[in-house]
Every structure is written in structure tokens, then in C-alpha cells.
A and B are shown apart, each in its own frame.
Chain A
Amino acid sequence: MTAVTSSSPAGPRGQSVWSAAWRRLKSDRVGVASMIVVLLCLLLVIATGLGLFASDWQQEVGVPNAPPHFVGPAPPEAIGTIAQPKGPDVDLSDVDPLAPRYKEWAERALKYKTAAVARAETLPLGGDNLGRNVWKKALKGAQVSITVGVLASIVATLIGTLLGGVSGFFGGKVGDLLEWVYNVFTAMPSILLIFAFAVVFGRGVLPVVMILALTGWTGTYRLIRAEFMKHRVREYVRSAEAIGASRFSRMFKHILPNVSHVALVQLSLYVVSFIKYEVILSYLGLGVSVDQVSWGTMLSEAQSELLLGYWWQLAVVTVMMAVFVTAFSLFTDALRDALDPKLRGLE
């Protein structure tokens, strides 16, 4: 037997591709910062979903369109220009058929206690046209928007990966059929497709998720299909076939982990674009139902408020969205760099 070749003196367990990627991500300052922001946002969403924050967002706690604290209360409105009538009141009891009952009603009214709720003149970040706290509303909206974005992109990536994998791996007739489906989906302008699905699914969070997922899977499909076509003929897949690994095992155990970074990066790109799409849908009135709030419905309300000079709702939503979307995009970039197949040289 030949001499025993000493294997490289690395630790007891080797460094997997994922831990190498994590090490690279850690050394990227922007990546880490954006990851922290994204994680905080996701924590906030979970907390809001569990009712720890902003469960009372529907309470009308301020005067309508209450300005933010730092702006100060709105100046009192000048009350009407109609002059007060002069001269004695005219007795109408003989012509008013309800007159005999006024007294009875007044007594019955005394049995109820009416408490005039003291409405705040200003709210931390202002109020909307019903006097609801814009900050809480935006938190609740974030929960809906981010949930929709994340769920929809997960579903879209699953659909795209599955179909792309099948199409790329098998090719032939199956591939042709799936290509045909893909072409049908991409041949239609996406906004029309979204409208069509919206009509079928109705309103609400889950319908929006389904609409976005069913229209958005095509990009992942294309990428994953190409990767599967490339990997299918690689030698490691060939040797798996030679040892008798089934098609299923070759597709999902051998190839998929090697192309998963593509799907992962695509997924994070989807989150950003789906959040924007949800905003557009809600803005057009096809989004979540009326008793829910999302960043999109808030933006659509803000449009008319802006004309009256109530800018705070728009500002809060825009800033929150900008922070989340930017952080997520930067995180995606860093993730892609960390998972970049430059590593292939080492593989």
C-alpha cells in the first residue's frame, strides 16, 4: 500500500461552504449593519404580530389630523361666518309633532353617562383623519407589508425553484411544457396579470400573498432552470448517477444545495420588490381589506391629506419603508458577495 497521505491539518470538522460564507459576511461592515437593521425590523414584525405593540392602533386617541408633538397643536379653526340670529326664539311646539316627547327623552338620556373623551391635541408622530396614532398605525402596517413581502417571496421562490429544477433537470417534453407556461406568464404585462389574479382571489393578506407569488416566480424559475441544466451534466452528478442515486436524490440532495445560493439571493430580492408591489396594490385598492392597515393603504390615504397640509403620515411611512427596503437591499448585496461562487476555486 502507498504511504498514508496526511490530510490537511484543519480542525476536526471541516469548514462547510455555509460557514465560510458566514465568515465572509461577518467581515463586511455594511452587511452586518444592514443585517442588524433587518433583524430588528423582523423582530418588530413578530412582536407586533403577537400583539405586544400597536394592538390598539385603531383607537382614535387624538383630534383628527393631530400634528406631531414637535410641530405643536393646530391653530383653532375660525368658526363659521354666519351671524347669530337676533330676536326671541319662536315657539314651534304647536307645529312640532315630537314636542311632547322631548322631556321624556331628556330624562332617559340622563340615565346614561356620557364621558367626553379628552382627545390629544398632538400625537408623537401625528394622527390621521380619524385621530389614530400614525406611529402605531405604521407599525401595524409594517407587520402586514413585511409579512406579505416575506411570505410571498418564499412561496414564489418555492414555485420557481421547483418548476425550474424539474424543467432544467428533465428537459425534453417536460421542459418544453414548463417553458410554455413560463412564456404565457411573462408574455402578459405583470400589472394586468396581478389585476386578473386580484379579481379571482379577492382582498386580504393571504390573497395578496398568492397574487404576488403566482405572478413573481418566473425570475427564479429562469435562473434555477439554467443552474440545473448546468449542474445536471457535471461530473459529481454523473457519479451520483453511476452509484445509483435516484433522480429525486440527484435533484434535491445533490444539485439543490449547490444552487441554493441563487434561490436565496433571488428570495431576498423578491422581498424588496414584493413590498413595493403590495404598496402599489393597496394604493390601487386591490390590497388588504379595509379593516386592515398596510404601508400601501397609508400611502393612499396620505395622498389626499397632503393636499390639506397633513404631511406626517406620508413622512412616517416613507421613512420606515426606505429604511427597511434599503437595509434589506444592502443585506442582499452582502449576502450575494458572501455566497458568491468565487468560492468555486476552493471547491
Chain B
Amino acid sequence: MSMLLSIQDLKVAFRMGREGGEVRRSQAVKGVSFDIPENTTVALVGESGSGKSVTAMSILNLLPENAERSGRILFQGRDLLTTPRRELRALRGREIACVFQDPMSSLNPVFTVADQLVEPLMLHQGMTRRQALVRAEELLAEVGIPEPKRRLASYPHEMSGGQQQRVMIALALSCNPKLLIADEPTTALDVTIQRQVIDLLARLKQTHKMSMLFISHDLGVVGEIADRVVVMRHGEIREQADVAEIFHAPRDAYTKALLACRPSLSENPARLMVIDDHMAGRTAHDATGAHAKDPAAPVVLEARGLAKSFFFREGLFGKREFKAVKGVDFKLRKGHTLGIVGESGSGKTTMGLTLLRLHEPTSGEVMFDGRDLLRLSPRDWQAMRRRIQIVFQNPYASLNPRFTIAQTLVEPMEIHGIGASHAERLGRASALLVKVGLDDSALPKYPHEFSGGQRQRVAIARCLTLNPEVLVLDEAVSALDVSVQAQVLNLLKDLQDEFGLSYIFISHDLAVVKFISDEILVMQNGDVVEQADTASLMAAPRQDYTRRLLGAVPRGYQGPAGQPA
């Protein structure tokens, strides 16, 4: 088998401006070497900051201006680092094509699908417009878009995310490339769509006899598609091997840890492994033990017929109703976690925001401590607010960038008059920081000085300042790396045990929801499809939709010919 692409000792550094006359550089890739044989899928796996995307983007020199590359990138024996710009441009699209993460921003919104597909065909293949249109239709059919002829005339916004990504793939395939670089192509998609796109990519690789460089943070996805896996961390390669070896006999401690700390559908640990612990040879310490929860614990929160509609203006006087949440009922018991799963657009986040009246509900009632939250007067609601709090998805956006951590933590206590003096509140804030695994040296700092996981800890600490009884966690770990995700999930479990908190855990990730929840609510298009306790839902889903969701979750490498490993 001959090598299609061979990367040898690639180093990439970014110039970060001058300091004292010296150019400051940040080394993103520190000497990486691997090969992509013909007709093979190689996966680059790593957490954020591992340099996996930078490595892939340096192949076609799609890096920002301030990047400096050294080493060798041999494509069919030719060093791409020394290839002149003009020849490189001829290679792009024709020999090496790319698919990016977000199809919404990769397609030009002002051109139709036909316009965007025809351009590379005319440019690289020298086709006439008529020929190119015929070929474009074939391509759309090949990537599985129904009614390709009609779809050619549509604009990107008229298609769903999955269809957009299919168009991107068709675009990449248009010139029969020998190498397809797919940079997190399924990360922005729902699980069921992700499943379809992965299957499509695997099929196309076979029919087109091309190689693929597949970049992902998710070992589950990688296990299903890759032939070879390259694990990266901090700009270095930790391990590279065939996929079966990576999953069954990983040699590197980091690879082992990555495999161990992801919540899975098949196992049921009380705590998740944390990468650093695992690498240090410690096992997940089971401090509290998997003590069973009291199924008859008192109900703290009960929603009945909770609904939220948005209205759009239509015509001069008319308005159109969009029902985002169509009557949800549930009970939340003290110390329990209610998981809410669903794909994008299922109304799960809207429901969470409506519970806290961050959206005004359209109808329904939410009983909390015998009172209907949705009908409280502003004064009563303000007092009630401290008992129900929310943690948002994106820790980069949910902390005010102009507030120090101290200001962030003291503000809610000031509003609700907790603590007698500023000093007392500060003391409480630093005690809570220790609780969430930070220390009081964080107090005078600003959010941008912390990593995503640390920020999410601060956001959790801010909620805890108010001694809430119910915490709504809206995709609270979705934006975090696998290892950090494990830490935050463990932290949430610990806090629940310590304070008897009740969680409403909203997520699209079934494995995570399964790990943390006692009961699961499946939502689709604003409706509750299925509601059951975690064990029975996982074991025997009653609804078709739930089964589809469960079936779509990537399960990693399953051995040759689909045999369970």
C-alpha cells in the first residue's frame, strides 16, 4: 500500500506579537509525524488545544497569516510546504478537499446550491455550465439528498443542518479528490443526523477509493469510522495505531484515560474516571458510594401542562404561533435528577428557561413548595428566585467578562441580602470556590484567565451562593472537553449528595444524561415522547423515537463486521 500523504516532523508556531523586541511564539504543533496510506481513513483525536485541527489545516496551508510551519508534508511525493501558492491552489479542491464543522457558515448564504456546486466543476474540471449542472445533480443524489433536481435551486437556509452538511460533502467530492479532510464534520449535528453523515462518509470513501483524514474529539465517532487512529495532546502525538489496537490494547496512559472517562451507555459507574487520576494510576475514588436514592423523597417541583409559544408577525396584522413547548408534565423529587434529552429544536432549552421565567410561559403551572411559580407577584418571585437557579451551556458566555470572580460571586448575595457585610460574603464566596474545586486565589481574577471547566465551576459556585434547592443545568457540560466534562459531572454528583440538590439536567448527549439522571424525559418537537426512570428507559425504550436516539449514539469500535467487541 503506497502512502498518499506523509507528514514528517511537522511543527507549527503562531507569532503572538512582540515583547521586548523579541517575537513571541506559541508552539501549537511540536513535531508530528504520521502517514495516510491510500484508501484509508486516519482519525486525529484530541481535546481542544491538542493541535489536531492546526495539523490538518497546515496540509493545505489554510492557517492564519501569523502561522509558521516547518518539517515536511509529502503528498504523492511532493512537499506541500515548498509548493508555490499557485500550484497549491490547483491542488485544493481537486486533489485534496475539505469539509468543515459548521455547514451553516461554510456555505455562502446568497448563492443557490447549484451555483456553489457548479463553480469548482467549471474551474477544476473545465466543464461547461450545462455539463456541470448535470454532474451537480448526480452528486446531490449520491450524497442522499431527496429530489436533487429541485434542491439545486434552493438556498442553504432552506435546508436542514444535515442536508447542508451533505451539500458540503458533495462539494468536496465534486472533483474526485484523493484525500478528504473532514474537520469535526458531525460535531454541530444532532445524533441521528450524525449517524447518517458518518455512514455516508464511510460509504463514499469506499465508492470513491479515496483516503480520509477525520478530525474529532469524540472517540466514539472515531471508533466507528477510522482504520487508523492518531491520538494527540498538547501538540504532540501520544499514540498511533490501528483502530482495533487503540480500543482493545491502548498502550499510552492518556489514550487509556480518554477511553475510560467518557460516560458510556453500556456501563454504569457511580463516578467517572478523571484523566489526571487515571494517568496517575489512581482509580475513581468512590468516596460516597453508590447509595440508592429514596424513591419516595418529597416532590420539590412539579410542572403541569407547561407550554410556551412564540409569535411571529405575519402580513400586516396577522401573527403566526410557533409552539416551542406543548404542555410538559413532570415531577422532580428532592435529591433526584431529571434528565431531559432531545435533539435541537425539541424545546428542551426553552422549557428550562420557562421554568425560571426567563421566558414568560404561555400556559401551565409549576408548583414549587405548594405555590405556582408562574403566577407569583414580582416581589414574591424575587424571593423565590434564590431557591431555583440555572447553569448555562457556554461557560465562556455566561460569566460577565468585566466582573472579577469576587464580584460575580458576591453580587447574588448582595441582591438577596445574604451575609451581613461584604467581608462575610467574600468569605462565603471563597468557601464555595473551595467546594467546587478552585481556591480563593481566583477571587481577584477575571473570567478570561480561566479554562472552560474552571469557568463552569465558577458558574456553579455562583448558583450555590443562594443555597438553591433546584438547579436547572442547561447543557452544562456540552461545551467542555471529555476529561473536564468528567470532572464537572463528578462535582455535580458530589454537590447533590452534600446539599440534597435536585437537578433538571438538559442535554442532547444520552450517555451523559444516563450517567447523572434518575429519571429521563425524552422530548421531540415540543412534546414529551417518553418518560421513565433511567434504567428501564435504557433497557427497554417504548417509543420509536427513543430507540432511534439510542441507536444513533456512537459506541466506538465494535470489532470487524459489526461483532460486539
Contact = CB atoms under 8 A, between A and B. Distances in A.
Interface of A: 1-5, 7-8, 10, 12-17, 27, 234-236, 238-246, 249, 254, 257-258, 343, 346-347
B445 A258 contact: no
A254 B400 contact: yes
Nearest to B416: A244
Contacts of A27: 17-18
A38 B17 CA distance: 27
A4 B434 contact: yes
Nearest to A238: B358
B400 A236 contact: yes
A17 B487 CA distance: 29
A13 B404 CA distance: 9
B402 interface: yes
B280 to A, nearest CB: 10
B385 A1 contact: no
B385 A244 contact: yes
Given A5-B437, A17-B402, A243 B415 contact: yes
Interface of B: 17-18, 274, 276-277, 353, 356, 358, 382, 385-386, 389-390, 392-394, 396-402, 404, 411-412, 415-416, 434-435, 437-439, 441-442, 444-450, 453-454, 457, 459, 462-463, 466, 487, 490-491, 494
A243 B389 contact: yes
Contacts of A16: 402, 404, 446
A239 B390 contact: yes
Contact of A2 (B385, B412, B487): B487
A241 B400 CA distance: 12
Contacts of A243: 385-386, 389, 411-412, 415-416, 462-463, 466
Nearest to A343: B448
A347 B389 contact: no
A336 to B, nearest CB: 18
A14 B392 contact: no
A4 to B, nearest CB: 6
A1 B498 CA distance: 10
List of 6 A-B pairs having minimum Cβ-Cβ separation, nearest first? A14-B445, A243-B412, A347-B401, A235-B398, A257-B402, A346-B448
A242 B402 contact: no
B437 A244 contact: no
B357 to A, nearest CB: 9
Contact of A244 (B397, B398, B412, B441): B412
B308 to A, nearest CB: 15
A14 B449 contact: yes
B396 A347 contact: yes
A221 to B, nearest CB: 22
A249 B18 CA distance: 39
A5 B453 contact: yes
B310 to A, nearest CB: 13
Given A243-B389, A243-B412, A347-B447, A5 B394 contact: no
Given A242-B358, A243-B412, A243-B466, A7 B450 contact: yes
A343 B447 CA distance: 13
A7 B494 contact: no
Nearest to B274: A2
7 contacts: A8-B449, A13-B445, A236-B398, A239-B398, A243-B462, A243-B463, A245-B415
A235 B435 contact: no
Given A2-B491, A5-B438, A234-B397, 14 more contacts: A2-B490, A5-B487, A7-B438, A7-B441, A14-B449, A15-B446, A17-B401, A235-B397, A242-B389, A242-B390, A249-B415, A258-B402, A347-B401, A347-B447
Contacts of B411: 240, 243, 245
Contact of B446 (A4, A14, A244): A14
- Which of A1, A27, A249 counts the most B-chain CB atoms under 10 A from its CB? A1
Contact of A3 (B276, B444, B449, B466): B276
B50 to A, nearest CB: 18
Nearest to A5: B437
A3 B457 CA distance: 13
Contacts of A346: 448
Nearest to A256: B402
Residue of B397, B434, B457 with highest tally of chain A CB at under 10 A: B397
Contacts of A2: 274, 437, 487, 490-491, 494
B356 A242 contact: yes
A27 B19 CA distance: 9
